[in-house]
Structure 1
């Protein structure tokens, strides 16, 4: 028994047995029919039954599935900055987070195409309660972050996650992906939670936990969708938050978000690699600050990188002008693009509900405000 058995992905030696557990599952058949519409069931099943490593499973089944999703529900993926990364090198990717599955899947597809180390990726255990999804996530090299814990249980879980991440990065040369905050950003206002950074340092021994970041390579990632496929599904939680009400998820809400994220309209998608923060982390380490203050500085650096690297689409500029009732960014979109966005707004939102309209527009407009703040901050410094 390994101390990480309750959260880790499968080992390669376990991969084939895990595949055999799900190979006859109707959900897997639906996935494979989508990914390989011209292949017979017997053909892809035979390929799966002869798969004996996580990498082979990812490359032969998950990767073609991601490419099919892009083909069917997007206008393509663009990437930039991957040339700054070295082959055979592990990185801690800290990313803004929009979609449950796609964010990490698109990043790994891009890493694979650029000959770089794939990630082991954090996923909330609330998303993989169904046995099939749990098995599939472990085959896709996800590790579980336990949700809904408090007190001692939360600390122990955070320590285990920290130790697993350190083991992956330092001892196994395996890249790691984690969101900059717990859960997805619902309102488009991407911000790094200091608590996430503190969790990462828990496994570092000695009296300088921040020194951990000098031993690894931290890379902020910006991912942007022209249309968020789950935008309308995020509305109930945003409305509850704006009314200071406690939001309780419906039973199948996470699963519906997962499906909508995969199949919903996205238009264009962009992933931006915002460099390795070696110099920035070295500078923060030299500051005469306590650990908490250093983590706040690092969170701010990550925010600035993610905001400045975020690809702003016409949808972002249109939403900003509609939200603030002006035409400040009219040069960034066409009449046709504005009409299409307004049509999407009318179809998805009760336009008589001004609070809902405001929340919907803010979701797309906030990245514009954040990038503006980032530019202003850089010009001052």
Structure 2
């Protein structure tokens, strides 16, 4: 038996749920598939989101979805001698309970008219020549065919749907981070997200502590995927050298996964009858690997473009490339600036990082995080005189 929809969404995480909701609100018949029994599980990240994102995306947070309120972030140098505290509108946010948060997004998609198939795994795409015309999925243990005018692949970092459709969605090992995180109890925390920079502790990455309320925190590490031992090794090592903070802490859950941190996909995320969105399209912040709200943003764009063209009967790649044009003029601009900064950070030693932390004030560090590079680079002139080896590296930001 075949089922027909205007739009099919594979994956009902933040990107998929937003895509489904947007397409349904535009008047399309929409089906969303997710292989998990419970949306939001397993958790793959620190679970932090900025409140400004929710306002921009027109989404509301239920109090039940909030684990802790965050009023800023603190960045710590490798030698721990410099701590930069940043509090502004962009750092004000919350740590969410992903099981509740993701389910709420799916409920919103359902309220908009989406037919949601939970615990239903999509195993292949349906092709009519070069065009993707649907998917094959196991529903209630039976393989069924579902046809659609447009398919949106929002199936996460381990995405298979884009590849089955003939798109190159594979992230190179160099552009892939590996992350592991412990949910721990008996951890003293303030209302700040803590970020620890150190090449020795987290090669090509960082260590984080996200407060989850009372004495609970998500403590994790993300490291570059090339030529490094596993992330768990680095996290365990880091915790052992800080017994004063974590000696009495107990791990109640562990999660991990891969994070594509290279350039976000634009044209390459679009094929005949298919759009790839969210982490599946590498639409992740290259600095901290966060992707919840970025995925929601990309999903919303994908859903709107898919719906517009499904209703108009213009589902060829040329028309669906509108998604890439919107994305590259909007979200991709900031992400590519962040990628430039990541490539600079990867070339710095802990000694370099300590010197930069010591030389710049809090406002300078904040400007770096906001990708306002030129003024900060100009201020680093005296530091570069004493460290000529940094000239070429830092100049890449100008």
TM-score using structure 1 length: 0.28
| Structure (1 or 2) with the greater helix fraction | 1
| Structure (1 or 2) with the greater strand fraction | 2
TM-score using structure 2 length: 0.27
